[in-house]
Amino acid sequence: MRVMVTGGAGFIGSHVVEALRARGHEPVVYDVRTDPAADVRVAGAVRDALSGVDAVCHQAAMVGLGTGFADAPDYVSHNDLGTAVLLAAMEETGVGRLVLAGSMVVYGEGRYSCARHGVVRPGPRAVADLAAGRFEPLCPVCGAALSPGLVGEDAPVDPRNVYATTKLTQEHLAAAWARSTGGTAVSLRYHNVYGPRMPRDTPYAGVASFFRSALARGETPRVFEDGRQRRDFVHVRDVASANVAALEADTARGALTAYNTGSGTPHTVGAMARALASAYGGPEPVVTGEYRLGDVRHITADSSRLRTDLSWKPEVTFEDGMREFAAAGLRGD
């Protein structure tokens, strides 16, 4: 299969390219890092690049939480306009298979249970609570403590920031394209991806990159809130293999299928920081109590549907992955 990988020179995209080659496919890298004209928002360039292509693996995006709402036009332009242009070009050129880099951020907060009221959906955390160090969401009915759990793909979506909103819009666009064209569309809702070639410390980098960059500078990793927020840290090679599995799968036509893509083993942010610092041999992390508006407290999802439907499973353990990441280089972008 000849597969165009948008963002194929980036962090995740470059690993997808390697995984495709290892499976005997022919990846076509479409990325502004290697060719300034390779912008998914430029219809003519996208149409030309799709010549002879069988499928598209769409990794190109502006990622991360950003630095404020002023970033919104850039996020919408890169992520949503870019996806719309790409999908229109795919329809025009007859390319009918898409795998989209989705994100677990579309869920907002994770799944919570109250002892009295069962599964509940807490709203965004109040600034006053965050400032006072009250980080755990409470039951919206009775105000009691909640137990976090795993989110399934059928859970209601609730994007809490601009980036999350654009990732959900990408899925809606892909679903509309699939219905209109009869194409196949899969969204892999990535969890916290980490590993070699991760971008170094930028406003848009993931938490693992922030900690790794601090250690490289000889600085102490700074953990927000109390460090007990739960995430699923999944290795980039496992994410790449999920992309290949989705491209090769006999997926239903005319609809979007979403799959949570995580390791299946939640860890706290504090535990990840300690594991990375230990593997690097750097200073112990410090828990700051600081917070960022738009961050959620706990978000870990059930990835069993991906394992069952596509016979995929993660291969890199948390411990091995953190040791490798501690020794790996970071990208400069």
| Active centre residues (catalytic) | 163
DSSP E strand boundaries for 171-247: 184-190, 192-194, 222-223, 230-231, 233-235
Q: What is the distance between the alpha carbons of residues 233 and 213, in angstroms, rounded to a whole number?
A: 17
Report how far apart, in Å, the C-alpha atoms of 310 and of each of 150, 226, 245, 248, 271 are.
20, 37, 6, 9, 30
Q: What tokens does 284 get?
A: 């112990």
| 147-151/111-114 β-pairing | antiparallel
Which DSSP category does 78 fall into?
A: I
Cβ-proximal residues to 227 (8 Å cutoff; 6+ apart), any chain: 268, 269, 270, 271, 273, 285, 287
Q: What is the distance between the alpha carbons of residues 185 and 187, in angstroms, rounded to a whole number?
A: 7
Q: What tokens does 120 get?
A: 């509940």
